[in-house]
Chains A and B, each alone.
Chain A
Amino acid sequence: MTRAGFLCFLCFLWPFLGSCSRRLPETAGILRISQRNEPATLDPQLATLPDEFFVIRALSEGLVTPSPVGGTPIPAVASHWEATDNWATWTFHLSGSAFWTNGDVVTAQDFVYSIRRALTPATAAPKSSLFFSIKNAPAFLHGTVTDFAEVGVAAPDDRTLVITLARSTPDFLELAASGPWIPVHPATVEKFGINWSRPEHFVGDGRFTLVEWLPNQRIVVRKYPMHRNSYTTLVTGIQFLAFDNGDTEERAFRAGQLDITMAVPATKLDTYRNAEPSFLQTVPLHETRYLALNTTKVPLNDVRVRRALSLALDRKILTDKVVKGGQQPAFTFVPAGLGRYVPAVSLTENPDEARRLLAEAGFPGGRGFPRLELSTWPVSTPQLEAIQERWRKELGIEVALVQREARTHLAALAVGDYDLAFATAIPDYGSAADLLNRLTSGHPDNYPHWSNASYDRLIAGTNLTDAEKLLLNEMPLIPLYFNAKNFLVRPTVQGWREDALWTRYYENVSLHE
């Protein structure tokens, strides 16, 4: 080939050569965080997953927001508030310096609109129960009250929001700080309907704006410089990068493509503990991992069998030798330290008592006990194998492990198509009531499909301590451990905080090369 010919050939190739090196997005000053579950929506009233609220909390904020140092929620859009009538009426004063990203002021009417939206049946808000402490709210959702003026939400002027609750609720601020209470911009929602949360339409009131959303790849947000607290936003933007499993995520972290991971593969925990302890962070979570027992099926409808299954376990060895990620054995259903709740009882472990109860229920030594299935989603087999073996050894019963895809597993839990199931309970806000509510008759998260009239009465009377006592006595579920979140943070990231309720705090987070 002649020299001229070669040059022509190069010229021809040039555009292709350029495209060979994969164009990576701009990274200077940008925090790269991994995401696990692809958000189905970024609409605060429709979102359910922690992964969705990670992004939503960067884009928007509510009246109050969880405090990064724990304790009572701190002011956000509302600058101050009063509670009267024994914590049944709450008046929030909006600061007036909170703006939507299109320039509009955030008003009290915006909150009224958002709460009404969450309680409108057509919205089908999955977390509408978080608004049920408002006077007449459940009635409005169920259609027995049709005039929203009767619901306890009012905006006397642009900067005052008055919320009247059905009864005294001292921990209402925790509720108001929860994700679904984050407001939406009414005009945008009216104009674009369900598509308002697409990047081209999104209007929020937070410290970041939505730039790009490539499903299953990344969500990019950029610092919003006009936010009243933008001086504490120390990064220029955040990329939420999708990684569907812990192993690829960990490899990407090692290759320097990620600043903060979602988790650490359990098998890599020891490696990081020994070799790079400064990368590893552990946050105890208010998340209870438990076994749901399908109380509609024989023999699990017998309380003696349910208690025997729990009594036979050894939770301490399970957390210390098998799970090994800083999880704490659960002897109650509600995690210690959640809200102001103090548990009254704690579960015991006693294999002899378990064998006695099982014999009493008609299965001495496990003879005649049907082969039940213990179903799970594809993450947790070793711990369940340990439980399987424990039951085989202590009670003489065999269970089969069945792995199902996460969505299938959840659907099966909801309709009761299982025997025993590994499940998890994450409270939506810092209160024991939220967790214990889920076991009331007919609640959509009542996976054991358990129904107990005295329990329902205790919950209705907010007698949580006695309710949990009854729950642990009747044992429709077996608490195993309180989860902990292990994740990796690059030392260049400073000021990163996550709390026990899966909230991430983006203020004062900085990158130092």
Chain B
Amino acid sequence: MNSSASSSAVAETGSSPWRDARHRLQRNRLAVAGAVTLLLLAAACVLGPLLSSFGYAEQDLNNTFAPPGSTHWLGTDQLGRDLLVRVLYGGRISLGVGLCATFVALTIGVVYGAVAGYLGGRADAVMMRLVDIIYALPFTIFVILLMVFLGRNIILLFVAIGAVEWLTMARIVRSQIMSLKKMEFIEAARTLGFSHSRIIFRHLLPNALGPIIVYTTLTIPAVMLLEAFLSFLGLGVQPPMSSWGTLIKDGAEKMEEYWWLLVFPGALFSLTLFSLNFLGDGLRDALDVRSAKD
């Protein structure tokens, strides 16, 4: 059996589930376009402000509300600040919040869900009821309260958002672990006397990675929306810093007279959200064969 299996593997030039998934993803044009757009946007946000001759807080009070033109490509705002630099700078904040908060949510959610699912029984019941309770708290008010108590600090904003976004992740991971832990390879690991943590992190989690990756890509846009929403309410970043949320808020107030203040940040934000969602959908189709459409 061993020899025939290895010979067929050689004939198929070493196909693995990961390689299959990558092929499926590459065939999904929307997902690829999303990934490329994201990379371009991220590069622009990181490099753009370095290349521009304007600073994000640099004011030119004799040149306020300038429409898009050759010096200021996207125009200027109420204080004569270059909108392009502010949009790119805002992108750093928004993408940064998205990645950091998602990382926090991912860490908490995966560990919590895996432990609950693996232990089962009473421990699982208690841990999941706690999740239910936190779920029941009004989400936005919870974040606002956190910010009020912890003060307005951009790092805390990441953490606060991450700390309320992990719940769904915990549930998904738990259900995956519960179905996996009944399987023979786990029985085998137990029989070999491996420790619980080794079983969870070396044997169970790698097999649940597909859904985790998919859900992560879908969490990032949700978190970015939440950051935009908080900034829109005036709880986000502090002036003169900008994030896409604060830029859109300012733009919405002035859109009737100065359309560029709303259109450009709004367009970039929408583009990012679309790209992330397309990529997430593509990843789900590629990694999770059972739920794929085709």
> Which residues of chain A have a CB within 8 Å of any CB of chain B?
247, 265, 267-268, 270-271, 317, 321-322, 378, 381-382, 384-386, 388-389, 392, 400-403
Assess whether B61 is in contact with A386, with CB atoms less than 8 Å apart: yes
B47 on interface, CB distance cutoff 8 Å? no
Set of chain B residues within 8 Å of A247, measured between Cβ atoms: 253
Set of chain A residues within 8 Å of B239, measured between Cβ atoms: 381, 384-385, 388, 401
CB distance from A246 to the nearest CB of B (A): 10
CB distance from B53 to the nearest CB of A (A): 16
Set of chain A residues within 8 Å of B62, measured between Cβ atoms: 317, 321
Seed contacts A385-B239, A389-B79, A403-B234; 17 additional CB < 8 Å A-B pairs: A267-B257, A267-B258, A268-B256, A270-B257, A271-B256, A271-B257, A321-B80, A322-B61, A322-B78, A382-B79, A385-B79, A386-B79, A388-B240, A392-B57, A400-B238, A401-B239, A401-B240
B175 on interface, CB distance cutoff 8 Å? no
Scan B215-254; emit 1 where CB is below 8 A from any A CB, else 0: 0000000000000000000100011100000000000011
Assess whether B78 is in contact with A265, with CB atoms less than 8 Å apart: no
- Closest residue of chain A to B57 (Cβ to Cβ) is A389
CB distance from B136 to the nearest CB of A (A): 27
CB distance from A258 to the nearest CB of B (A): 19
- Closest residue of chain A to B261 (Cβ to Cβ) is A267
Assess whether B59 is in contact with A386, with CB atoms less than 8 Å apart: yes
Set of chain A residues within 8 Å of B107, measured between Cβ atoms: none
B64 on interface, CB distance cutoff 8 Å? yes
Chain B 73-106 residues near chain A, CB threshold 8 A: 78-80
Assess whether A265 is in contact with B238, with CB atoms less than 8 Å apart: no
CB distance from A371 to the nearest CB of B (A): 12
CB distance from A266 to the nearest CB of B (A): 9
Interface size (B, Cβ < 8 Å)?
19
Assess whether A389 is in contact with B257, with CB atoms less than 8 Å apart: no
Scan B143-166; emit 1 where CB is below 8 A from any A CB, else 0: 000000000100000000000000
Set of chain B residues within 8 Å of A382, measured between Cβ atoms: 78-79
CB distance from A44 to the nearest CB of B (A): 35
Compute how far the CA of A403 lies from the CA of B239 in the bound complex, rounded to whole angstroms: 10
> Which residues of chain B have a CB within 8 Å of any CB of chain A?
57-59, 61-62, 64, 78-80, 152, 234, 238-240, 253-254, 256-258
Compute how far the CA of A321 lies from the CA of B77 in the bound complex, rounded to whole angstroms: 12
Compute how far the CA of A477 lies from the CA of B157 in the bound complex, rounded to whole angstroms: 34
- List the 3 closest pairs (A to B, CB-CB), nearest first: A321-B61, A267-B254, A389-B59
Assess whether B240 is in contact with A385, with CB atoms less than 8 Å apart: yes
Compute how far the CA of A271 lies from the CA of B64 in the bound complex, rounded to whole angstroms: 16
Compute how far the CA of A403 lies from the CA of B64 in the bound complex, rounded to whole angstroms: 23
CB distance from B249 to the nearest CB of A (A): 11
- Closest residue of chain A to B77 (Cβ to Cβ) is A382
Compute how far the CA of A322 lies from the CA of B77 in the bound complex, rounded to whole angstroms: 11
Q: List 19 A-B contacts (CB under 8 A).
A: A267-B78, A267-B253, A267-B254, A267-B257, A268-B256, A268-B257, A271-B256, A322-B64, A322-B79, A382-B79, A385-B79, A385-B239, A386-B61, A386-B79, A388-B239, A388-B240, A389-B240, A401-B238, A401-B239
Set of chain B residues within 8 Å of A270, measured between Cβ atoms: 257
Compute how far the CA of A270 lies from the CA of B256 in the bound complex, rounded to whole angstroms: 11
Set of chain B residues within 8 Å of A384, measured between Cβ atoms: 239
- Closest residue of chain B to A274 (Cβ to Cβ) is B257
Compute how far the CA of A417 lies from the CA of B78 in the bound complex, rounded to whole angstroms: 30
CB distance from B16 to the nearest CB of A (A): 52
Compute how far the CA of A270 lies from the CA of B238 in the bound complex, rounded to whole angstroms: 27
Set of chain A residues within 8 Å of B78, measured between Cβ atoms: 267, 322, 382
- Closest residue of chain B to A267 (Cβ to Cβ) is B254
Compute how far the CA of A421 lies from the CA of B240 in the bound complex, rounded to whole angstroms: 17
Compute how far the CA of A267 lies from the CA of B78 in the bound complex, rounded to whole angstroms: 9
Set of chain B residues within 8 Å of A385, measured between Cβ atoms: 59, 79, 239-240
Set of chain A residues within 8 Å of B58, measured between Cβ atoms: 389
Select the residue from B62, B78, B253 with max chain A CB neighbours within 10 A: B78
Compute how far the CA of A400 lies from the CA of B58 in the bound complex, rounded to whole angstroms: 16
CB distance from A381 to the nearest CB of B (A): 6
CB distance from A402 to the nearest CB of B (A): 8
CB distance from A394 to the nearest CB of B (A): 12
CB distance from A168 to the nearest CB of B (A): 48
Set of chain A residues within 8 Å of B79, measured between Cβ atoms: 322, 382, 385-386, 389
CB distance from B90 to the nearest CB of A (A): 15
User: Known contacts being A385-B239, A386-B59, A389-B57, is A378 close to B256, with CB within 8 Å?
Assistant: no
Set of chain A residues within 8 Å of B64, measured between Cβ atoms: 321-322
Set of chain B residues within 8 Å of A378, measured between Cβ atoms: 234
CB distance from B68 to the nearest CB of A (A): 18
CB distance from A307 to the nearest CB of B (A): 23
CB distance from B173 to the nearest CB of A (A): 39
- Closest residue of chain B to A383 (Cβ to Cβ) is B79
Set of chain B residues within 8 Å of A403, measured between Cβ atoms: 234
Set of chain B residues within 8 Å of A402, measured between Cβ atoms: 152, 238
Compute how far the CA of A267 lies from the CA of B80 in the bound complex, rounded to whole angstroms: 14
Set of chain A residues within 8 Å of B152, measured between Cβ atoms: 402
CB distance from A474 to the nearest CB of B (A): 29
- Closest residue of chain B to A400 (Cβ to Cβ) is B238
Compute how far the CA of A378 lies from the CA of B239 in the bound complex, rounded to whole angstroms: 13
CB distance from B241 to the nearest CB of A (A): 10
CB distance from B145 to the nearest CB of A (A): 15
Set of chain A residues within 8 Å of B61, measured between Cβ atoms: 317, 321-322, 386
CB distance from A242 to the nearest CB of B (A): 21
Set of chain A residues within 8 Å of B80, measured between Cβ atoms: 321
Which of these, B59, B240, B253, B258, contacts A265 with CB under 8 Å? B253
Compute how far the CA of A92 lies from the CA of B64 in the bound complex, rounded to whole angstroms: 56
- Closest residue of chain B to A247 (Cβ to Cβ) is B253
Set of chain A residues within 8 Å of B253, measured between Cβ atoms: 247, 265, 267
Compute how far the CA of A265 lies from the CA of B79 in the bound complex, rounded to whole angstroms: 16
Compute how far the CA of A294 lies from the CA of B102 in the bound complex, rounded to whole angstroms: 41
CB distance from A404 to the nearest CB of B (A): 11
CB distance from A120 to the nearest CB of B (A): 40
Set of chain A residues within 8 Å of B258, measured between Cβ atoms: 267
CB distance from B30 to the nearest CB of A (A): 38
Compute how far the CA of A270 lies from the CA of B64 in the bound complex, rounded to whole angstroms: 13
- Closest residue of chain A to B65 (Cβ to Cβ) is A270
Set of chain A residues within 8 Å of B238, measured between Cβ atoms: 400-402
Set of chain B residues within 8 Å of A268, measured between Cβ atoms: 256-257
CB distance from A481 to the nearest CB of B (A): 14
Compute how far the CA of A384 lies from the CA of B239 in the bound complex, rounded to whole angstroms: 10
Compute how far the CA of A146 lies from the CA of B180 in the bound complex, rounded to whole angstroms: 87
CB distance from B157 to the nearest CB of A (A): 15
CB distance from B258 to the nearest CB of A (A): 8
Compute how far the CA of A392 lies from the CA of B152 in the bound complex, rounded to whole angstroms: 21
- Closest residue of chain A to B64 (Cβ to Cβ) is A321
- Closest residue of chain B to A403 (Cβ to Cβ) is B234
Compute how far the CA of A271 lies from the CA of B256 in the bound complex, rounded to whole angstroms: 9
Compute how far the CA of A389 lies from the CA of B58 in the bound complex, rounded to whole angstroms: 7
- Closest residue of chain B to A388 (Cβ to Cβ) is B240
Set of chain B residues within 8 Å of A265, measured between Cβ atoms: 253
Set of chain B residues within 8 Å of A388, measured between Cβ atoms: 239-240
CB distance from B66 to the nearest CB of A (A): 12
